[in-house]
Each structure stands twice: as C-alpha cells, then as structure tokens.
Amino acid sequence: MTETVVHVTTLEQWKSVLDVWFAQGYEWRNGGKGYRIDLFVKQLGRHLKLNANHKISYWSMGICGEPFIEYADFMAQQEKTITKETYYVTQEQLDFIERIKDNSSPFNAITIPAFSKKFNKMLYHFDEKKIGHYYVI
C-alpha cells in the first residue's frame, strides 16, 4: 500500500477522513481510533497521513513536506472504490414484505402458520428428492 496524505481545512473534513480510515481498520500510530480533535485545534493539524505501515499520523499546517491530495479528491476516490451491491427479489417476495410491513405485529405475521408457510417457501428451495431437507437459496 502506498502512503496517502490528505489536506483538510475543517474539523468535519478531519473527522470524515478518519471515519473512512477507521472503518478500513487503521488506527493512529500510537494506537486508538479517536478523532484526536486536539491535534486539529491545538496543534493545527491540517494534513492526515496514512503511512505504509497502516498507521495514521498528521502534520501541522504549512509543515507538510510530502505531496498531498485535497479532501474533495480523497472523497471522490473513496466513492469510486465503494462497491455497491444489488439485490434482486421477486414480485412475490416484495408483496410478502409489504404484507408484513403493513401488519400491526410483523413478528406475529411471520410466526403464525399461514404466513410462516409462505415465508419458508420463499426463503428455502425444497429438494423433492430428499424429502424433509431444505437448502437456503
């Protein structure tokens, strides 16, 4: 992994970059995943760096000696790398969801036998060759 240095100008940007890196499992070079607002406010940290060793550090404004990217460019990169998953459902499944959603007690709608049979049918594929065995599809 290459090092990344991001230039931020607001506390919200500082937190946003850290949120991305914390979600990816990175932490400060001395450990921890706090926002360390004191570094932004008191130390005037304006450059966040993700080191090659997967640790986060910072530089005060005007001291950064490495190439950096602006916050907007960093966030644009993140949007490109986020994988968007698509789930496909049948009309029958959508209708069932609507019925449950409109029910005053959705849990009971799933657990009572009339609904339960329909629910299980949609979630499992019954293999007629092996009577009594269900497989999740």
Q: What pLDDT digit, counting tens, does each position of 6-16 carry?
A: 999 999 999 99
Matching residue, tokens 């709608």: 109
Matching residue, tokens 């968007």: 84
Q: Percent of the chain scored above 70 by pLDDT?
A: 69
Mean pLDDT, residues 28-52 taken together: 88
- What band does 124 get if pLDDT is binned at 50, 70 and 90? low
Q: Determine the Cα–Cα distance for residues 9 and 46; give it in Å rounded to an integer.
A: 6
Rg (CA), the chain: 25
| Amino acid code (one letter) for 49 | K
Strand 45-50, strand 55-60: pairing: antiparallel
Each residue's pLDDT tens digit, 58-79:
888 666 667 889 999 999 888 7
Backbone angles phi, psi at 20, to 5 degrees: -60, -50
- Note if the pTM is more than 0.75: no
